[in-house]
Amino acid sequence: MKLLKMKRHLLLALTALLSTVALAAKEGYKITFQANGNTDTAMYLCYYHANNLWCTDTALNNGKGRFVFEKKKKSLHPGLYYITNNKDRRLDFAVYNGERNFTLTVDNANWKVSAEAKGSKENELFFNFNRMNEAFYRQMDEAKAEMDSATFRNTYLPEQLERFERERMEFIGQHPKAMVSRMMLATRDLEIPREHPDGTSMTNNERYEWLMAHYFDNVPLDDDFIIRTPENVFYERVMNYVDKHMKNLPPSMICPLLDSMIDRSEPAPEVFKWLVHTMTEKFLQSKVMVYDEVYVHLVKRYYETGKAFWMSPSGIDKEVERATKWERLLVGRESPELILFDTTRRAWSLHRMPGEYTLLLFWSPTCGHCRDVIPAVYKVFEKYADSLQMSAFSILSEPDEHTTVKWKDFLKKHHIDHPRWVNLNGGEANVDWREVYDVQTTPQIYLIENKENTFIAKKLGAELFEMMCQQLMRSK
């Protein structure tokens, strides 16, 4: 383990050094914004990032509507930025292909339509594209005012939308490497084929597999600009992929799909960093019991191997340590043995509990959530304990003298005294159960199958526990 940590820390140091050297070569920018007729005191340089907006620089008016954003030792990552007066004006523009010194000029009456760029081919294309969009929507507004609504809606609008889409695609085809083209292409939905190349029909499952394999065909995950775009371009595409198209999939299918997405982004450090961090946190916080396995997989694949270059060695060690604990507690794994004493000093073994199933609980009467959950879970337990031959191994998670008194009072008040429900003081045990079971918060509730002592459910509340009991009853 120590050797693995040393190798991981060395890899992190080398990656960070290479990133610093690469960044140093791209440092510095000067963006001049000339807003003719503008009297604002200051302008702000901001950028899109996934589903957020951030500001990075401020420039003051020189008295003639000229604002200069300039840093000699700070880089601007590629992406879509905007200049705003923080009131009612915003001008989007591109930072791409190493262009870091250019001038943007607008008429204060209408920034978007009048915008011109000097020293930036990317922004010349970007502003031309915007003017094409503005002209189309202006034409639609004029036509709508002149036509009857039925004709406009049923005939004119569909024809014009089709024409406009052709023009947009022609623009993209003429400038395929421009940031605006790549950004617009990323928002297009894929047309899922209904037939195989040989003409035979595709099943719904085959069409789904095609979609998941091609989902990011138009999204350049390997280019850092993509993360600094409006949320419908990148963020929503990623979240729909995970939340909609992966919904209810087992970890065995989710893990390779996430790997495929994340691995495509490795040439783009900012995208890779965001995807790894966001997906790891998402499955770390998931309420779905089996998705702990996805979190463990991501940590093992990207953190333990030293690929999380943005994190400190100690931060990675902490993440890996938690994933290692969680790996022992996955559904389907054997539960770690626990031996504790009840209120009469009788020793009980988790692996020798009577019956077919054991409900394992860590809780405390000082925990507000526990005070609601435990009585509700106990009622479900009473309902199914005998028919399912179920025991309960219930552990007081704060076994100090003061809490022990409250614990006993709580048990009496809520009549938690079923003969199959064993109340255990957590003060003495064969192992540090807080460490072994990673008890950071309470309540924590598991359901164990006694024959092999394996976890069959976790993260239980009363409702989910009853659903599990009903499922077990149906399988009897």
pLDDT confidence of residue 4: 52
Res 286 pLDDT > 70: yes
Identity of the amino acid at 29:
Y
Residue 198 lies in a domain: no
Q: List, in order, residues 6 or more apart from 209 with CB less than 8 Å away.
A: none
Same domain, 230 and 350: no
**Residue 124 domain flag:** no
Question: Which residues are within 8 A (CB) of 452 and not within 5 positions of it... i.e. 6 or more apart?
Answer: 334
User: For the chain, how many structural domains are there in total?
Assistant: 3
Check whether residue 345 and residue 324 sit in a common domain: no
Same-domain check for residues 394 and 469 = yes
Encoded tokens for 374: 């435990």
Position 248 scores a pLDDT of 93
350-370 pLDDT, tens digit per residue, is 999 999 999 999 999 999 999
- The span from the CA of 181 to the CA of 126, in Å, is 9
Mark whether 284 and 377 lie in a shared domain: no
Q: Are residues 366 and 457 in the same domain?
A: yes
Domain check: are 348 and 229 in the same one?
no
Q: Which CATH number belongs to the domain containing residue 465 in this structure?
A: 3.40.30.10
| CA angle in degrees (0–180, nearest 5) for 328-330-335 | 60
pLDDT higher than threshold 80 for residue 2 = no
What is the per-residue pLDDT for 9?
55
| Residue 370 and residue 277 in one domain | no
| pLDDT for position 123 | 98
Strands 390-396 and 357-363: parallel
**Ramachandran quadrant class, 457 (left: phi over 0; alpha: psi -120 to 50; beta: rest):** beta
Same-domain pairing of 319 and 393: no
For residue 15, being part of any structural domain is answered with no
Q: Give a yes or no: residue 131 inside a domain.
A: no
| Position 192 confidence tier, pLDDT thresholds 50, 70, 90 | very high
pLDDT band at 20 (very low <50, low <70, confident <90, very high): very low
Dump strand ranges (E) for 65-165: 66-71, 79-84, 90-95, 101-107, 116-118
Query: Which of 306, 328, 350 is the last residue before a domain boundary?
Result: 328
CB atoms closer than 10 angstroms to residue 371: 15
Question: Which residue has better confidence, 299 or 343?
Answer: 299
CATH of the domain at 92: 2.60.40.180
Q: How far apart are CA 322 and CA 84, in angstroms?
A: 43
Residue 391 pLDDT class (50, 70, 90 cuts): very high
pLDDT of residue 280: 98
* Predicted local distance difference test score (pLDDT) of residue 21: 40
The residue among 276, 305, 328 that closes a domain is 328
- Say if residue 392's pLDDT is above 70: yes
For range 23-35, the mean pLDDT: 79
Give the confidence band of 26 by pLDDT, cuts at 50, 70, 90: low
Q: Tell me whether residue 132 is in a domain.
A: no
| pLDDT at 23 > cutoff 70 | no
Domain membership of residue 3 (yes or no) is no
Predicted confidence at residue 476, as pLDDT, reads 77
**3-state SS, residue 372:** helix
Q: State the pLDDT at residue 31.
A: 97
266: confidence class by pLDDT, cuts 50, 70, 90: very high
pLDDT score, position 88 = 86
How far apart, in whole angstroms, are the C-alpha atoms of residue 236 and residue 457? 31
Q: Quick one: average pLDDT of 311-337?
A: 96
SS3 460: coil
Which range of residues forms the domain containing residue 212? 204-328
Higher pLDDT, 379 or 112: 379
Q: Do both 223 and 313 map to the same domain?
A: yes
With a pLDDT cut of 90, the percent of the chain lying above it is 86
**Which residue, among 287, 465, 290, has the nearest Cα to 376 in the 3D structure?**
465
Q: What span, in angstroms and rounded, lies between the C-alpha atoms of 295 and 309?
A: 18
Q: Read off the pLDDT of residues 78-123 as tens digits, 9 standing for 90 and up.
A: 999 999 998 889 999 999 999 999 999 999 989 999 999 999 999 9
Quick one: which of 168, 26, 38 has its CA closest to 96?
26
For position 10, what pLDDT does the model report?
53
d(CA 159, CA 152): 10
Same structural domain, 316 and 374: no
Judged against a pLDDT cut of 90, whether residue 15 lies above it is answered with: no
Given a cut of 90, is residue 343 above it in pLDDT?
no
* Structure tokens that stand for 385 in this block: 């304990």
| Domain identity same for 266 and 237 | yes
Distance CA 414, CA 399 (A): 19
Residue 17: per-residue pLDDT: 46
The answer on pLDDT for 55 being more than 80 is yes
Q: In this structure, is residue 223 part of a structural domain?
A: yes
pLDDT band at 238 (very low <50, low <70, confident <90, very high): very high
Same domain, 349 and 316: no
Q: 367 in a domain, yes or no?
A: yes
Q: At which of 94, 119, 144 does a domain end?
A: 119
| pLDDT for residue 25 is more than 60 | no
Residue 5 has pLDDT above 50, yes or no: yes
Looking at residue 22, its pLDDT comes to 43
